[in-house]
Amino acid sequence: MSEGWTTKKPTALLVLADGTVVEGDGLGATGAVEGEVCFNTALTGYQEILTDPSYAKQIVTFTFPHIGNVGANDEDVEHLRAEGQAGAVGAIFRAEVSGPSNYRSAGHLDAWLKQRGIIALSGIDTRALTVHIRENGMPNAVIAHDPEGNFDVEALKARAKAWSGLVGLDLAKDAATGAEVIWEEKPWVWNAGYGAPSDPRYTIVAIDYGTKRNILRLMAAEGARVVVVPPTATPDEIMAHKPDGVFLSNGPGDPAATGEYAVPTIKALMDTGVPMFGICLGHQMMALALGGKTEKMHQGHHGANHPVKDFTTGKVEIVSMNHGFAVAAHSLPEGVEETHVSLFDGTNCGLRLKDRPVFSVQHHPEASPGPQDSHYLFQRFFRMIDENRPQAA
């Protein structure tokens, strides 16, 4: 694999667990951090990608070469936490980050990365790194940035080799806000910003395993008062809000690890008959609660150009994805229907229960790659709620 073309002293390194060292130019935060290296094929949305809590403990390689040229702002952030690092720990770019040129820009990407504690590296052959990941899987690594270019390479190699990786890690507790929040924001409108909800018709409890803001906005747009609760909330605490529906959010880490405390809660909520909808990690843990299994993927799905077929409609939609674990379709028990499948590799992307108002999808319908191919899933959720409301006497 190429180690870049810069002739000056490198100020950043990517050190893979197999000993490969990739040199480049550093930006963003300084220091060193472990993570799993993946690649993302999206052409836009780098702020949303880097602040997606589902990328916790991951280093994102952007296959699109020009990242940062529209700058950064405070509106295009996905995590809920008001402070601290939440999302990707590192980022890798092909081209040097240029000065921002966009009317919405509030600053340079470099300053934004520093503020959020994200270490970044530019000036390397990202195509070669992407091929390496496709052929060998997502490697464990350390990304390091020192403006003076002083690195203990052997220590970094040992650190990368010693890191255990994502399998077995519960990261949801760190990715979530950890507190109850009443969500009060609707989707962004051109030159008007984010609207405020009014006269809600539904109460939705969203279990926060590392949720994204735009998911909550789209539920608010459907007329919901959204109550965000921590991942460790008990069934009694959740049902005390008298929800019309329960949402299981996206999030990072190994679903089996988070499922140790989340799955019993999900099972108990299913038994109440309340309508449920899950996305990404929420989808995976719903499958676990139903008796299915999850498995680590070779290279994962990360991008905004993934074709998925909805068997319930026969339609194909272009979706956004971000996951390194998948539901094993063959493990789904009787009574659970597979509703969506990836047309890239045939992996499971959705399920529903045949006898209860419960469904979930692996992809991110709020991320608008189509741009709105998957928004119908939110409407499906609220239609399900309407169909299962107690009838007035």
Dist CA 230 CA 221 (whole Å): 22
**Tokens found for residue 229:** 């609760």
Within 13 Å of residue 92, how many CA atoms lie on the same side as its CB?
32
Contact by Cβ (8 Å): 183, 215: no
Question: Which residues pair with residue 227 across a beta bridge?
Answer: 182, 205
DSSP 366: G
CA angle 300, 302, 308 (to 5 degrees): 90
Catalytic residue among 280, 283, 317, 363: 280
Is 364 noted as a catalytic residue in this protein?
Answer: yes
Is 349 noted as a catalytic residue in this protein?
Answer: no
Residue 77 amino acid letter: V
Catalytic residue among 283, 340, 364, 375: 364
Dist CA 41 CA 63 (whole Å): 5
For the stretch 14-41, what's the b/e string if a residue is b when 16 or more beta carbons lie within 10 angstroms of its beta carbon?
Answer: bbbbeebbbbbbbbbbbebbbbbbbbbb
Rg of the chain in Å (alpha carbons): 21
Listed in sequence order, the residues at least 6 apart from 353 whose beta carbon sits closer than 8 Å to its beta carbon are 270, 290, 335, 336, 337, 359
Catalytic residue among 222, 302, 366, 375: 366
Active-site residue list: 280, 364, 366
